[in-house]
C-alpha cells in the first residue's frame, strides 16, 4: 500500500467569480448545509478568501450539494463555534483548515457525536482522526523553497557549490518559518532544511537566525526579521521564508534599511509575491493550484455524504493513525515562468502588472 499520493498539476480554468463580501459574511447555498467549510483567517495568506472560497463555491455548486463557508479570522474558539453551528444546522461533512490541534480535535469529536465526518484541509490535524487529509505535498514545497534559495545565491554569483567566504565570513542564510501551531510549517521547514542543512554542516553556508512567526502574522514577521538584521549587523545573505506574506515582510525590512535584495523564497503565488519576483526582490514562490485542492476536497466530501468508498489506498501517518490522503504536487515559480499563472487563470495579468510593476512584465 502506498503511503502518499501525488496528484499532477494540471491546467486550471479561470475562476468565474470572486466573492467580494467573503470576509465579512459566510457563503451559503443553504442555511442547513450538508457540507461545512471552515477557513482559518485572512492574515496568514490572501489565498483563503481570494482562491479557496470561490473554488469551493464552484466545486460544491457543481456537485449539487448544500454548503456553508465561514472564516474564523484566526480565532480557534470562533472556528469551533462555527463548526458547532454547522453541526446544529445538520452538516454531515466538515472541511476544516486547522488553527490549532486542540480546537480542531474538538471539532472532530463534536462531528463524530453528530454522526458527521471531517476532512483535514490543507493542514493535518495532528493527533486527530479525520476521514481524509487533502493538501499539497508540504515537504516538497519546502524542498522547492530550499532549492530556490541556493539557486538565487548561485545566480547572484555568490555561491558555486563550494565553501564561499565573503570578506572574513561565510554566506548567512536566515529562516523565517510559518506559525508554530500549524503542522505545515514543520513540513515546509523540513523540506528546505533537507536542502540547506547539509550545506551548513559542510561549512558551505552558515545558518543564521531561525524563527517561527506566530499565526503566520506578517506584521510580526516584519518585527522578527528586523530583529534578525540587528542581530547579524545586517549581514544576512539569503532568506528561506515560508510564504509570500513573510517574504514581503523581509522585502519591507530590507527596503527600510536601504539594503539590497537577497535570495528569498516564498509560497502561494500571490499577486504581491509575483510582483516582488519580477521586480527582483524575491527569488521564487511555490504555486499551489488551490482550485485543484478545493475540488479534490469537495469530491471527497461528496463521497462521504453518499457513503461511498474514498478509493484512496494512500495514507499519511498521524500519531499512529493511517489517514487517507490526497497530496497535490506543487510547482516552483520564478521570473522565468511566472506567466503560466496567467495562462492557467490562477492570477490575472491586471492584478500583477499594475503601477510601477507594469515595466517588469513580459
pLDDT for 169 equals: 76
pLDDT per position as a tens digit, 284-343: 999 999 999 999 999 999 999 999 988 765 899 999 999 999 999 999 999 999 999 999
pTM of the model: 0.85
Mean pLDDT of 27-55: 84
- Claim to verify: residue 62 and residue 94 sit in the same structural domain: yes
C-beta separation of 261 from 288 below 8 A: no
pLDDT for 5 equals: 39
Does 227 map to a domain? yes
pLDDT for 24 equals: 38
Which whole-number Å values give the CA distances from 43 to 14, 80, 221, 242, in the listed order? 24, 19, 11, 14
Place of cell 536566515: 174
Does 362 map to a domain? no
- Claim to verify: residue 67 and residue 146 sit in the same structural domain: no
pLDDT for 117 equals: 98
Does 94 map to a domain? yes
Q: Which of 31-35, 236-240, 305-309, 327-331 has the lowest mean pLDDT?
A: 31-35
- Claim to verify: residue 193 and residue 254 sit in the same structural domain: yes
**pLDDT at 16 > cutoff 90:** no
pLDDT for 311 equals: 74
pLDDT per position as a tens digit, 159-200: 877 665 565 578 999 999 999 999 999 999 999 999 999 999
Number of domains in the chain: 2
**pLDDT at 23 > cutoff 70:** no
- Claim to verify: residue 251 and residue 274 sit in the same structural domain: yes
- Claim to verify: residue 22 and residue 102 sit in the same structural domain: yes
Does 359 map to a domain? no
CATH of the domain at 86: 3.40.50.2300
- Claim to verify: residue 344 and residue 208 sit in the same structural domain: yes
Widest distance between CA atoms in the chain: 66
pLDDT for 160 equals: 78
Does 44 map to a domain? yes
How far apart are the C-alpha atoms of 332 and 9, rounded to whole Å?
A: 11
Q: Which of 154-158, 225-229, 248-252, 266-270 has the lowest mean pLDDT?
A: 154-158
Does 120 map to a domain? yes
Does 161 map to a domain? yes
Mean pLDDT for the chain overall: 90
Strand partners, 281: none
pLDDT for 208 equals: 98
Q: What is the residue range of 116's domain? A: 6-130+289-328
**pLDDT at 9 > cutoff 70:** no
- Claim to verify: residue 91 and residue 197 sit in the same structural domain: no
- Claim to verify: residue 16 and residue 110 sit in the same structural domain: yes
Mean pLDDT of 207-229: 97
Going by C-alpha positions, the residue among 66, 64, 82 that lies closest to residue 74 is: 82
pLDDT per position as a tens digit, 97-155: 999 999 999 999 999 999 999 999 999 999 999 999 999 999 999 999 999 999 999 99
| The residue count for the chain | 362
- Claim to verify: residue 282 and residue 301 sit in the same structural domain: no
Select the more confidently predicted residue: 326 or 19. 326
pLDDT for 52 equals: 97
- Claim to verify: residue 312 and residue 340 sit in the same structural domain: no
- Claim to verify: residue 271 and residue 145 sit in the same structural domain: yes
Select the more confidently predicted residue: 211 or 157. 211
First to last CA, the chain: 46
3-state secondary structure of 209: strand
C-beta separation of 163 from 199 below 8 A: no
Buried b (16+ CB within 10 A) or exposed e, 257-273: eeeebbbbbbbbbbbbb
**pLDDT at 4 > cutoff 50:** no
Does 361 map to a domain? no
Mean pLDDT of 249-253: 98
Place of cell 519591507: 252
- Claim to verify: residue 113 and residue 183 sit in the same structural domain: no
C-beta separation of 91 from 116 below 8 A: yes
pLDDT per position as a tens digit, 272-291: 999 999 999 999 999 999 99
Amino acid at each position: 500500500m502506498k503511503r502518499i499520493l501525488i496528484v499532477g498539476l494540471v491546467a486550471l480554468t479561470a475562476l468565474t467569480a470572486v466573492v467580494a463580501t467573503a470576509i465579512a459574511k459566510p457563503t451559503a447555498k443553504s442555511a442547513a448545509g450538508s457540507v461545512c467549510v471552515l477557513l482559518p483567517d485572512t492574515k496568514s495568506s490572501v489565498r483563503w478568501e481570494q482562491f479557496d472560497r470561490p473554488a469551493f463555491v464552484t466545486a460544491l455548486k457543481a456537485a449539487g450539494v448544500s454548503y456553508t463557508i465561514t472564516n474564523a479570522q484566526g480565532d480557534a474558539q470562533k472556528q469551533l463555534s462555527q463548526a458547532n453551528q454547522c453541526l446544529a444546522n445538520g452538516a454531515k461533512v466538515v472541511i476544516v483548515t486547522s488553527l490549532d490541534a486542540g480546537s480542531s480535535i474538538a471539532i472532530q469529536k463534536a462531528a463524530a457525536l453528530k454522526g458527521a465526518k471531517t476532512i483535514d484541509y490543507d493542514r493535518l490535524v495532528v493527533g486527530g482522526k479525520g476521514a481524509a487529509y487533502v493538501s499539497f505535498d508540504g515537504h516538497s514545497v519546502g524542498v522547492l523553497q530550499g532549492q530556490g534559495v541556493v539557486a538565487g545565491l548561485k545566480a547572484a554569483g555568490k555561491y558555486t557549490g563550494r565553501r564561499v567566504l565573503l570578506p572574513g565570513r561565510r554566506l548567512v542564510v536566515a529562516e523565517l518559518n510559518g506559525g508554530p501551531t500549524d503542522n505545515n510549517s514543520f513540513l515546509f521547514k523540513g523540506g528546505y532544511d533537507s536542502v540547506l542543512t547539509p550545506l551548513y554542516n559542510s561549512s558551505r553556508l552558515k545558518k543564521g537566525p531561525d524563527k517561527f512567526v506566530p499565526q503566520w502574522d506578517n506584521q510580526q514577521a516584519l518585527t522578527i526579521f528586523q530583529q534578525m538584521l540587528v542581530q547579524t549587523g545586517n549581514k544576512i545573505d539569503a532568506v528561506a521564508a515560508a510564504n509570500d506574506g513573510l517574504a514581503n515582510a523581509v522585502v519591507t525590512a530590507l527596503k527600510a534599511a536601504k539594503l539590497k535584495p537577497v535570495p528569498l523564497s516564498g509560497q502561494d503565488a500571490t499577486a504581491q509575491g509575483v510582483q516582488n519576483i519580477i521586480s527582483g526582490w524575491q527569488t521564487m514562490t511555490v504555486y499551489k493550484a488551490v482550485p485543484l485542492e478545493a475540488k479534490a476536497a469537495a469530491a471527497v466530501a461528496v463521497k462521504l455524504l453518499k457513503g461511498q468508498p474514498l478509493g484512496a489506498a494512500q495514507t499519511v501517518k498521524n500519531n499512529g493513525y493511517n489517514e487517507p490522503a490526497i497530496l497535490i504536487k506543487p510547482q516552483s515559480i520564478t521570473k522565468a515562468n511566472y506567466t503560466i499563472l496567467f495562462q492557467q487563470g490562477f492570477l490575472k495579468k491586471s492584478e500583477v502588472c499594475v503601477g510601477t510593476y507594469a515595466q517588469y512584465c513580459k
